[in-house]
Every structure is written in structure tokens, then in C-alpha cells.
Structure 1
Amino acid sequence: MFHPLPLYIGLRYTRAKRRNHFISFISLVSMLGITLGIMALIVVLSVMNGFHQEIRERILSMASHATLSDPYGGGMTDWREGLAKVRVHQDVVGAAPFVEVQAMLVGPSNVSGALVRGILPVDEDQVSDLRHQMESGSVDDLIPGEFRIILGEELAAYLGVGPGDKVTVVTPQVTATPVGVMPRLKRFTVSGIFSVGMADYDRSAAFIQMDDAAKLMALGDGVTGIRLKLTDMWEAPRTALQIAEDLGGVYRVVDWTQVHANFFRALAVEKRMMSIILFLIVAVAAFNIVSALVMVVTDKRSDIAVLRTLGASPGTVMRIFIVQGTAIGLVGTLMGVIVGVLFAINLEAIVGFVEAAFNVHFLDPSIYYISDLPSDVHWQDVVLIAGSAFIMSVLATLYPAWRAANTQPAEALRYE
């Protein structure tokens, strides 16, 4: 295919200087179609990658990479020894004990269920970014015996409370009293408000001091479990199991991929389906190459016949049109990759300029948790898109090239 003659003639056929400029126009349209399709794929997938990364970071800013807890639902009494062993493990960045309970929060105006987690403020910094998510108050305000609570922004608004107000925490556990069985409850003082930008936390999470939570749950010196932050979150399933085996006890191991498995699986399916839908644009552009080359073959029948009479083989003729179609596909692919990558890398600046110029906001902060358009270019996606588009372009040349190779010189020159 790269012999000088097929290469020269094939590249020459991509432009028509004297006659039938319509064929060149069709070739240009095919080239631009591939360019636009690849650009759209790269930009859309980069935006989806950016949203996925943003959501993942927000989730993991509050959720641990893995959790070790008692398999029977009771408290861990030997947690100090286990915590010391875990912290020296080579794959562990940080570890923190916690006490967790599903509780009912009673405010002045409303009642809401919430996940109440007892933490040690200093240790919690090793496994989450709660300290940096505080809108008011501080994590250090959680002092043992003070019975203070930190609420999510939306949860506090729903309960109608703010810093300094009282909230009653009602747990599922019950206490036997002379007047019967009563639910275990305690009044807490709101000491702070946090905001993550995720409804799962802002609307349904609360934090108290771990000792206060242990008293509320009647766990004594025990805790619910140990939360872990690992060096490689993608290896969390394997690493967490290995840590549990190294500790030697029996633990219930849960990692972040299990807790949010359905959510991240839905994101992956969405990205895959969007890729297939957008790739149809590239497929349509590739099929335009077929129509363009068929028209070229029809227009160049006499030229093909002359080449054949001069001794050109069918394979040489076939390679001429493969070169032409490949050139269209290659140029379109390169242009699409360059424009798409540049657009994706500078997307936030471009969107910001458009919003400022036309005084609009594409993602209203009052409606969407993520009000910007984050973009994260994955080079493996770019390579896959470019490679697939180029292969489709090459395949689109085979039928027209085969038709050209089967042109009979005598029939083509009969009326010349």
C-alpha cells in the first residue's frame, strides 16, 4: 500500500483541482464528520470522567476505603490492639475507631432518621476530610461528656436547628424501667454544621464524640469497628481482606466498592452506553468514506482502465483507493484528537467564558450539587477512540477499492 505509485495517485485523488469538485467536497465532509465525532466523544467522555471523579472524591472524603467490624453486630472490645497493628501495616495510611448507629433525631420542628457516628476528632482526620467540610463550628468541639453533635447542612435545615440548639437522639436500643421498656435517648447540643455537597451525607449524617456514642449505645469500652484509609483505594477489596487475615481475628470486612457498588456500576453503564451512542457519529462519517470512494471509482473508471492497460495489477489499483480513504480517515482522526483534547483540557475556562459572555449558568448551584463542568482526560480513552475510528475508516475503504480493482479495462474504455 505504501509503494510510491499507489501512495502518489491515492493522495492525488483526495483533491480535485480541475473537475468534479463535488467529490472533494464529499471527502472533506467525511473528514470533518470523523473530526466532529471524535471531538464529541473525547469531550463528553472527559466530562463524564470528571463528574465521576468529583463524585468519587466527595464520597471518599467522608467514607473510609475499608471498614473492619464485629461480624455478629456487637462491639469490638480489643480494638486498641487491633488499631495499633493496623496503623503499622504497609498499605494503611490512616486508621480510626468509630461507633455507629441508625438513630432518630428530634428537633424543634421536625423528626428525621440519620446515621450517627461517634468519632475521635484527631483520629478522624486520618480517614476523612470532615474537618475541611465544616461550615460552622469545629470537629475539636466534640469533647467527651459534653454531648455535642455535628449535623449535615440539609439535615440541620430540615430539623430547624443551628449551632447552640438542642437535638434529641433516639436510638433503636431500649432500656427497662419501672414503667416499662423505654427507648434510649439523649439530648445533644448542636456544635457545628458540615457540607459535603452530597445528599447522602448532608441530609442523613451526624457526628458525635466516640465516648458519648459508646455511652449512648451502652458499649462500655467497645467500638463498632475500625475505619481504614489505604495507600491504593483501587486495591481496597484485596488489601482489606489481607489486613483482616494479618490481624488473626474474625472480622466483617466492607470496602468502599461494596458500599457504593450499585452507584458506581450505574455510572460505568451510563458511560459505556453514551460511548456507544456517540460512536455512531464516527460510524456515519466512516460510511461517508464509502460513498465518497464509490463516486471516485465511478469518476475514475477510464483512469483505472488506462492504469490496467499500462500493467498495473488489481492489487495496485486497490491500494490506490485504500490510500485515499486511509488519508481521509487519518487526517480526520488526528484533527479530532487534537481539537477534542484541547477542548476537553480547557473546558472549564471555555464554559466560564461562555457563561460570562451570555450571562447564563448551565448548572444552577441552587439545583445541582456540582455546578461546574469538570473534565478529566483519560488518555486510554483517547487512544481507544482514535484507534477505533481509524480502523473503521480503513475498513470503509475495502469495498470501493475492491470495486475499483475489478474494473474491466475493455468495458471502461468502450465509449471513451
Structure 2
Amino acid sequence: MYRVFLSWRYLLTRRTNWIGVGGIFVAVGALILILSIMSGFLESSRAMLRGDLSDLAIAPSQEGRGTDGSSASSTRTPAPLLERLFADERVEAASPRLVWYAQAAGDGRRTERLMAGSAGDLSAIQLIGVELRTPALLAEAAAAPLLAALGLPLVPTAGRSADGRARDEFSTTEFFHSLRREPLRGMRVQNPLLPFERPRSYRTDGRPAAAIVMGESLMSGLSLVPGDEVEVVTILPSPDGSVTSANRRFVVAGSFRTGAHALDLERIYMDRAELEDLLSGHREYSEILVRTKDYDEYGAALKVDLERDFLAAGLIAGGYGRNGEIVAFPGQVKTWEDSRQNLIGAIKNERVLMAIMLSLILVVSGFTIFSILTMMVTEKRRDIGILAAVGATPRGIMSTFLLIGFWNAFLGTLLGAAGGILGATYINDIEIWLSDLLGVTIFNREIYYFDEIPSDVEPMTVLWIAAGAFTSTLLFSAIPAWRAARVDPLVALRNQ
């Protein structure tokens, strides 16, 4: 009992102990706060990097070998792939998509801006033809005002089969949410359920142009507004090996915003049939997008199974492996993480490096505890001698000084954890207050395309930090406590 009493008394009466408590408080609070922000950035960046990517994408190669060694090539129609996909219960939705690259040109005033990239070179624009269940969506669009008045969420459900599975872009990607997201500079489409509906402001003297939806950054940078016409120019391969050009005028229906500046700067969406017609039937589709019922549970396994089954059916191409077996060419079936693995890995590495660097603060606070306890052992030699003289064992004396380190760790960790969690929870309020106080913008929301500073407090991370603080403090307290236990009571009393 005396050990707890003495350790607590030494802690309260010696003010330098509070320096150690403060050091642990700062270390633990900073670790929790910054790692929570980094975790929030990781999750938000994952969502931003994913953009409109589906869970899986199937892009068959044009040539290769099947499992029987015969020549294999992708089918011109997506029907065989879709049929096999919907035979798997893990697939919730799938839709074909046609992707092509082109240039855009407007009237004489805008042509140069439309054609030139940021460095003055020609900038390619990605044309994406998507599949939407227009007749069914028309019915939903008509009912949308009534649903909104009743307070029901506007979620596209048209085009789904009896088992709830669908074959349209809205069901496989986040395109619908990109259309509804609050624009920063661009202009929304009239009705997100019908994005390729011509704007009411559109007037034409001749044949009405088909509608397209542009990325917000692209539309804003080109000073376009809904109702403006642009001409899309592309090239097509010919059977004789030469190339021909194709062009067509489209009307801008509005913008979408994914939150990823690079994607919003280079993408134009249109109806797949319109893009296929522009390409003169050269291709029906480029890839099949797949959404699983549970990506975390089924994603990786479904990729492996689909790759094996499609290769066996000759729907994707393969070549000879090292042992002479037929293996699928890489990249034909891939998850969305495969497409962004380098960037996601970089963010994870930054989080780990940040944790390692910030952990040095715990080491510094541990050295502080070591210095404080070392000085205390030197100053309390007479007290140690008296304790030993009245019957205290070396183990009891060592426990007393270890308890001082324990109290430092307990108070510092408790206050630091509370401060770090509160700071991470109210980081945006703190940032706004500091910005107003200092007169500077600490977090520029336009740079990161985040509406607020992301923060994600992970309970296991908090527990690991608390355990690390306790362990390091007790380790640094062990040496002074051991020295206190080895003090000779006769020498200690004689020298006082």
C-alpha cells in the first residue's frame, strides 16, 4: 500500500513530473489526431480515386489463344459475356460500355481552347458511351417530383430484372451520384435520371444534335454552358490498314463532377448507341462493368473465377505460360483496386511513414520521463535509505518508482487520447476557428475537392497508441527504478 501512496505523493509534489505527463499527452494526442486525419484522407482518396469505376471491369483482348490452343478473340457483341455474368449469383449488375478517344472543336472563338492542353499540345478527350434503360427511366423521371414531395430518396431502379439485377450504367458505377453532386463551377443536367435529354435552352435550325454530358472541369475550362454545340472529331481504322476521320456535332446537356479533377477534365459521356453510330459500327463495346453484391467478400474471388471461366469459354484471350499451359492475358478482368493500386499503395505508405515519424515523439517523451525519474532517484536517496531501513525490500522500492512512471503514462495517455479523439472529431471547427484567427486558409477545399477535412478515428489505432505509450514509458522508467532498488541504505543515510 505504501508504494501507491508514495508514488502518487511524489507525482503530485514534484512539478517536473507534469512535464512528463504533458509530453505523453502531446505525443498521444498528436498521433491519434494526425493518424485519424490520414485515415480519413485514405478513405476519401480511395473514394475519389475510384470515381466512376465499377467493382470489376472486363475488357477482352482482340487476339490470343483459348484453353484448347485455338485462336480466340473477343466477341463483337457483349451478350455472351453478360449471359455468363448473370449466371453467377454474386453479380448484382453489369452493363456494357464503349470507350473511344477524340478531339473536340467548337466555333472559331473557342476552337483553340478546346483543342489545346495545359502545355499547349493537343489534349485527347475520352468519349464514353453508356447504357441507360431510357424507357423505364422516363417513367421514373415522371414520378420523381412526387417522390421528392413525399421525401423519398431519388434512386434509379429502372431496368432491373425480377431478381433485382440490372444492366445499366447507373447500377454499376457512381455516374448517377456524379450527376447529382453539387457543382463547384459547372452546371447540372436538367434531370439526372435522363442525363442525355436536350436542354430546354437548346435551339437549332437544322437537325437536333444528340446530347452529351461533360466533366465539370472540362466544361468550365472551355467556358461552355448547357445548350452550346461542340463538334467531336476522331479517327477510325479501315480494313486496308489506313485511317479515316469521323466527326459529329453534339449539344452539351450539362456537367458531372466525380471529385477527381483529372477525370472531370477529360471525359464526355453519351449514349452508347450514339457513340457506336459515330464510329460507324466499328465497335459495340470496349468493356463490361460489373457490380458485385458484396465487393469486400466476393470481389477478389469473383475476379479469379470469371477469368478462368471466360478463358475456358474463349470469351477472353490467353497465351502460353511458362509451363506450356494456357493463361489469360493480364488486365482483361480486373478489380477497381487493380486500376488504382499504385496510388492507393502510395497513400497507405504515407500513412505508415507518418506513424513511424510521429512515434518518435513517444520516444522523446520517454527520455523526458527517464531524466525526471533519474533526478528524483538522486534527490530521494535519503528517503530510499529510510524506506530500506524500516523494512522496504528492493522490489518494493523499484515498484514505487515504476508506479511513478505508470501514473505519468496513465494520465498522459488518458488526456492525450481524449484530446486526440476530440480534436479529430471537431477538426473542421478547429480549422475554421484557426483560419479566422490567423487570417489564412489552412485547408483549401478546392485543391483537395473535399468539402471538409476527412477524419476517421479507428478504435484499434487508439488502443495501439495507448499501449505503445504505456510500454515505452514503463521501459524508460525501469532503469531509474532499478537504480533506486540498488541504493545501499547505509551509504544513503551516511551521505545525508
TM band (smaller chain): 0.7 to 0.9
Partner of 1:41: 31
> Contact between 1:175 and 1:183, CA under 8 Å: does it hold in 2?
no
Alignment of 1:14-413 (within 5 A): 14-16=11-13, 24-72=14-62, 76-87=75-86, 89-107=88-106, 108-109=111-112, 110-111=114-115, 112-122=123-133, 123-134=168-179, 135-137=187-189, 138=191, 140-142=194-196, 147-175=210-238, 181-219=243-281, 222-234=284-296, 236-246=299-309, 249=313, 250-251=315-316, 252-355=332-435, 361-413=441-493
Deviations 1:126-179 (A, max 9, x none): 1222223234224524379964321112222344433233333333533479xx
Give 1:44 deviation, angstroms.
1.2
TM-aligned CA deviation for residue 96 of structure 1? 1.6
User: What is the rounded CA distance, in whole Å, between the counterparts of 1:380 and 1:6 in structure 2?
Assistant: 32
- 1:13 equivalent in alignment to 2:10: yes
Deviation readout 1:300-321 (Å, 9 max, x if unpaired): 1112122223333322221111
Q: Distance in 2 between matches of 1:44 and 1:381?
A: 11
Give the letter aligned to residue 149 of structure 1: I
Please give the secondary structure, in 1, of the residue aligned with 2:290. strand
Q: Is the 8 A contact 1:41 1:275 kept in 2?
A: yes
SS at match of 2:406: helix
User: CA 1:146–1:97 in 2, change beyond 3 Å: closer, same or farther?
Assistant: farther
Moved more, 265-274 or 127-136: 127-136
**How far off is 1:40 after superposition?**
1.1
How much has 1:377 moved relative to structure 2?
1.0
Q: Distance in 2 between matches of 1:321 and 1:90?
A: 63
The 8 Å contact of residues 121 and 142 in structure 1, kept in 2 or not, is answered as: no
After TM superposition, the structure 1 stretch with the greater mean CA deviation from structure 2, 183-192 or 117-126, is 183-192
Q: CA deviation at 1:227?
A: 0.8
| Inter-partner Cα distance in structure 2 for 1:238 and 1:52 | 24
Conserved 8 A contact 2:100-2:127: yes
Moved more, 385-394 or 162-171: 162-171
Q: More displaced, 188-197 or 157-166? A: 157-166
Q: State the TM-score, normalized to the length of structure 2.
A: 0.74
Post-superposition Cα deviations, 1:321-373, rounded to whole Å, max 9, x if no partner, equal 11111111111111111111122112223334444666654233454422521
- Whether the aligned pair in 2 keeps the contact of 1:75 and 1:225 (CA below 8 Å) is no
Letter of the structure 1 residue corresponding to residue 236 of structure 2: Q
User: For the structure 1 residues 367 and 143, does the alpha-carbon distance in structure 2 shift closer, same or farther, using more than 3 Å as the test?
Assistant: closer
Structure with higher helix content: 1
Query: What's the CA shift string for 1:220-243, capped at 9, x where partnerless?
Result: 673212112234444533332234
1:297 Cα offset (Å): 0.7
- Gaps of at least 5 residues in structure 2 are 64-72, 116-122, 134-167, 180-186, 199-207, 317-331
Aligned length: 404
Verify the 8 A CA contact 2:60 2:287 in the aligned structure 1: yes
Distance in 1 separating the partners of 2:426 and 2:306:
42
8 Å CA contact 1:75, 1:222 repeated in 2 = no
1:376 & 1:292 partners in 2: Cα distance?
35
Amino acid at match of 2:252: V
Q: Which amino acid aligns with 1:33?
A: G
Letter in 1 for 2:173: S
Displacement, 1:415?
Answer: 2.5
After superposition, the Cα gap between the structure-2 partners of 1:141 and 1:323, relative to the gap in structure 1 and judged at 3 Å, is closer
TM, length-normalised to structure 1: 0.87
Alpha-carbon deviations, 1:63-84, whole Å to 9, x = none?
1121012133775435224324
Alpha-carbon distance in 1 for matches of 2:361, 2:337: 33
Counterparts in 2 of 1:76 and 1:339: CA distance versus 1, 3 Å:
farther
SS of equivalent to 1:372? coil
Q: Contact 2:235–2:243 at 8 Å: present in 1 too? A: no
Aligned partners of 1:31 and 1:331 also within 8 Å: yes
More displaced, 254-263 or 238-247? 238-247
Instruction: Give the SS at the match of 2:15.
Output: helix
RMSD: 2.8
